Chains A and B, each alone.
Chain A
Amino acid sequence: MLLTDSSESSIKSFLRNLSPVDQVGADSRAAMLATRSIKTSSKLWAIDTAISMIDLTTLEGADTPGKVAALCTKAVRPDPSDSSVPHVGAVCVYNDMVKIARDHLDKNGGNEIPVAAVSTAFPSGRASLDVKKRDTEDAIASGATEIDMVIDRGAFLSGNLEKVFTEIVCIKEICGERAHLKVILETGELVTYDNVRKASFLAMAAGADFIKTSTGKVSPAATAPVVLVMLEAVRDYFVMTGKRIGVKPAGGIRTTKDAIKQLVLVNETAGPDWLDPKLFRIGASALLNDLLMQRMKMKSGQYSGRNYVTLD
């Protein structure tokens, strides 16, 4: 057991005992891993693996049933001309689109693909716990089996760690066996890697199944060093508890090169066990098409063009 209880002092002393993170050192390790040269067969493997890890996402005020339906079609069959392309890891939408997404996936052969809902007053998290709970309950009732909640960054930064912790515990209780809980740290607002490491452990100790970098609404989002720090955290947490927690970078990962760098980070930080959609997801939308274009290039030897992949 990591915490004696969930009191403020217990949480604080637990987090204080974590090793600090040196920013320059973490940056330089991430930069070194970015020089890995992934070619030929390993690149093809990485592209398919990355596709299978995508949480294909639309989180816009302008989202419509039509837009979500198109996204779901793409999720099931990313490349209509090539059935060897795997389906994505999940579809990620706002609460009110969960049912539409679930129905569309089920009707189009995507019943294995989970629907993830962003929850708890996403993206700011500025609502009462009661609203956050109902938000979550509603999403699960609509068919979401993955909940992407946000932490209360204001509470974290003001030192009210118990509040952050308790909220996660409450949402986890609601999820129970019905849904996987991804906890969004919004690392761009936490700013320091020390905070990223602390928030990661806080979320894991409170019951997160996944820790996720960002909402996608704040920049910077899933930078390589931030993902590195979170991967180190899940690795260390596994050593402490024997429990594997997943990691989900989201935001800013748009190209095949970016995605492969993420896989290298996973491979050489948390280790190969995490190279699995159960333990690593990439929150993205535009990324999928770039992966598909690269995949076509690998297969045909020609560079592809944007009109040879479907828009959505």
Chain B
Amino acid sequence: MKFEYAPAPESTAIVDIQSEYNLFIDDKFVPSKGGKRFETINPSNEKVLSRVTQATAADVDKAVKAASEAYRKTWSKLSGAQRGKYLFRIARILQERAREFAVLESMDNGKPIRETRDTDIPLAAAHFFYHAGWADKLDYAGLGKNPKPHGVVGQIIPWNFPMLMLAWKVAPALATGNTVVLKPAETTPLTALLFAEVCQQADLPKGVVNILTGDGSTGAAIVNHPGINKIAFTGSTEVGKIIAKSVASSKKALTLELGGKGANIIFEDAPIDETVEGVINGIFFNQGHVCCAGSRLLVQENIKDELLEKLKRRMSLIRVGDPLDKNTDLGAINSQAQLMKIRELAESGDAEGAQRWSPQCQLPEKGFWFPPTFFTGVSQAHRIAREEIFGPVLSVITFRTPSEAIEKANNTPFGLSAGIWTDKGSRILWSAQQLKAGVIWANTFNKFDPASPFGGYKESGWGREGGRHGLSAYLKGDFS
């Protein structure tokens, strides 16, 4: 017998998308000074959702001035306890409007509603709750008495977790007493614009949060604006390095959350079925558009065949399709450009002699889609073993001994995440100690929490987000 799941689409009636959006500066939606509009589309069907504004350097200047004035006149005058209450308000409103955010995020990004509903939006609200409570306790953040904020913070966030990355950036910035100029990613601006409404509903003082939509040139204008005291960026390592160079001759503080090529290490004694789930979650969560994805599967050679059989079976069950269907596991690739990049890298895998495998699956005709895929016969030298694919593509590499696993795992300029699967406690701690990565998931993968610091070693970035450690990104330390 065959159990077909009938379509179970989440209703879009809950969202009210305007045909055009202005910029959010000083608590108002204002038109750009000379900026054109550009379309944001639903990547699952290529339909235009809205037209948003390309913020210009003049708009950036206006937003920085608003943020700067808000910092001087209101925000820095408020006590931590009062600041915190605004964050609590924001958290509550995000919970009240959670479904609306979840649907909008799914439409603009292409990710499954199950993930936006169960992960992105609840975690975004949790981040505001968590940081709200820090606002009046900064003396205990480990940076001495009465640590000082930077002032105006420029924040540039990526398209893979638009609302969650906004929360990761805005919540700690506000809790520590900074004001914000934020640019959402070009392809996913809508939830940030909805967040502007949340700021209004929360009665956040004007100018404390300013949201500018636009492309890389808007981002560059933020990075290079002299009125900004600190930059926080999440995105590619390539752009991160450019930003680092741009601010080198300024006093701007900088934190970076960049790329990764996470190793998910499977030892022979791993709890095999949960491990398979962890591998699936590690690479196919959010279509693999995850900087900390477990994109390199390092499997002990003596269990490779068994693991891959189980993995194939499990991958065949992945439901690819309409992101708004509540049963969808794998949604659309966020953009045409990203799809091209994934294809190009996958083709390099074919060309370099690795073997590609995907389950039979019907991909929709419209929109940007890539099936869940793994490559076997991958060596450390292959591009698919070294470069971040940022898509649902897993490279399978084998090892023979724990030391070899660690050596291979660390043999990359990145150092964001790693996974360890074994039933042996001492081996977990040994491996965790050896791995050069900022986040180690042992017998689990891709877990996030506002209390847990997140960030990378080496070329995966500077600084941490979340937890007590994340606060120091927004407070001044003993630097000259």
| Binding-face segment, B11-19, B264-272, B378-386, B391-399 | B264-272
* B contact patch SS: loop
Q: Does A83 contact B (CB under 8 A)?
A: no
Interface residues of B in 114-132 (CB under 8 A from A): 114, 118
Q: Which of B2, B6, B7 has the most CB of A within 10 A?
A: B6
How many chain A residues sit at the interface, stated as a range, is 20 to 34
**Within 8 Å of chain B (Cβ to Cβ): is A162?**
no
In the bound complex, do residue B327 and residue A36 qualify as a contact, i.e. CB atoms below 8 Å apart?
A: yes
With CB as the reference atom, state the residue of chain B lying closest to A26: B274
Closest to B316 in A: A271
Q: Is A219 an interface residue when CB atoms closer than 8 A count as contact?
A: no
A41 to B5, CA, bound (A): 8
Beta-carbon contacts under 8 Å, B1-43 to A = 1-8
The contact of A22 among B2, B309, B443, by CB within 8 Å, is: B443
Contact B273–A19 (Cβ < 8 Å): yes
Considering only CB atoms, which chain A residue lies closest to B10 in the complex?
A37
B51 to chain A, nearest CB (A): 33
In whole Å, how far is B411's beta carbon from the nearest beta carbon of chain A? Answer: 28
Q: Could you tell me if B278 and A38 are in contact, using CB atoms closer than 8 angstroms?
A: no
Q: With an 8 A cutoff between CB atoms, is B352 at the interface? A: no
> Count of A-B contacts with CB under 8 A?
72
B248 within 8 A of A: no
9-residue interface stretch from A42-50, A64-72, A247-255: A42-50
Alpha-carbon distance A28/B118, docked complex (angstroms): 13
Among A20, A25, A46, contact of B444 (Cβ-Cβ < 8 Å):
A25
Q: Determine whether B317 belongs to the interface, using a CB cutoff of 8 Å to chain A.
A: yes
A232/B273 contact (C-beta < 8 A), A24-B444, A37-B326 known = yes
Identity of the chain B residue whose Cβ is nearest the Cβ of A46 in the assembled complex = B3
Residue of A nearest to B273 (CB): A232
Taking the complex as formed, is B423 at the interface, i.e. its CB lies under 8 A from any CB of chain A? yes
Give the interface SS of chain A, mostly helix, strand, loop or mixed: helix
Q: Is the CB of A35 within 8 A of B114?
A: yes
Chain B residues whose CB sits within 8 angstroms of the CB of A24 once the complex forms: 443-444
Q: Please tell me if the beta carbons of A39 and B114 are within 8 angstroms of each other in the complex.
A: no
**Chain A residues, Cβ within 8 Å of B443:** 22, 24-25
Given A19-B270, A26-B273, the answer on whether A263 and B8 have CB atoms closer than 8 Å is no
Q: Is B69 an interface residue (CB 8 A)?
A: no
Chain B residue at minimum C-beta to C-beta distance from A267: B3
Distance of B269 from chain A, by nearest CB (Å): 7
**Residue B197, interface by CB 8 Å:** no
Mark out the residues of chain B between 293 and 319 whose CB falls within 8 Å of any chain A CB in the assembled complex: 309, 317
B387 within 8 A of A: no
* Set of chain A residues within 8 Å of B309, measured between Cβ atoms: 239
Tell whether B277 is near chain A: CB-to-CB under 8 Å. yes
**In whole angstroms, what is the CA distance A19 to B274 when docked?**
10
Q: Give A272 to B1 CA distance when docked, in angstroms.
A: 6
* A263 and B3 contact, Cβ closer than 8 Å, known pairs A20-B271, A22-B271: yes
Most buried by B among A19, A26, A39, A232: A19
Question: What per-residue 1/0 map shows which CB atoms of A259-296 lie under 8 Å from chain B?
Answer: 00001100110001001100000000000000000000
Q: Complex Cα distance A40/B114, Å?
A: 19
Q: Which of B250-270 contact A (CB under 8 A)?
A: 269-270
Q: Provide the bound-state CA to CA distance between A250 and B5, in Å.
A: 25
User: What distance in Å separates the Cβ of B286 from its nearest Cβ neighbour in chain A?
Assistant: 14
| CB pair A42 B6 closer than 8 Å | yes
B1, B8, B277, B326 — which one has the most chain A CB atoms within 10 A of its CB? Answer: B1
The residue in chain B whose Cβ has the minimal distance to the Cβ of A29 is B277
- The chain A residue sitting closest to B270, CB to CB, is A19
- Residues on A with C-beta less than 8 A from B423 are 20
- The yes or no answer to A191 lying at the interface (CB within 8 A) is no
> Whole-angstrom distance between the alpha carbons of A41 and B3 in the complex?
10
Q: Does A21 sit at the interface, judged by CB under 8 A?
A: yes
Known: A49-B1, A275-B3. A22 touches B8 (CB 8 A): no
State which residues 191-245 of A face B: CB under 8 Å: 232, 239
- Max chain A C-beta neighbours (<10 A), residue from B270, B271, B327, B423: B271
**Can you offer 15 A-B residue contacts whose CB atoms are under 8 A?**
A19-B272, A19-B273, A20-B269, A25-B273, A25-B444, A36-B5, A37-B326, A37-B327, A39-B6, A39-B8, A40-B6, A239-B309, A272-B3, A275-B1, A275-B2
Beyond A21-B273, A28-B277, A276-B1, 11 extra complex contacts between A and B, CB < 8 Å: A19-B270, A19-B271, A25-B443, A29-B277, A36-B5, A37-B5, A37-B326, A38-B6, A40-B6, A42-B3, A263-B3
Ranked nearest first, the 10 interchain pairs of A and B with the lowest CB-CB distance are: A25-B274, A37-B8, A37-B326, A19-B272, A22-B271, A22-B274, A42-B6, A267-B3, A275-B1, A40-B6
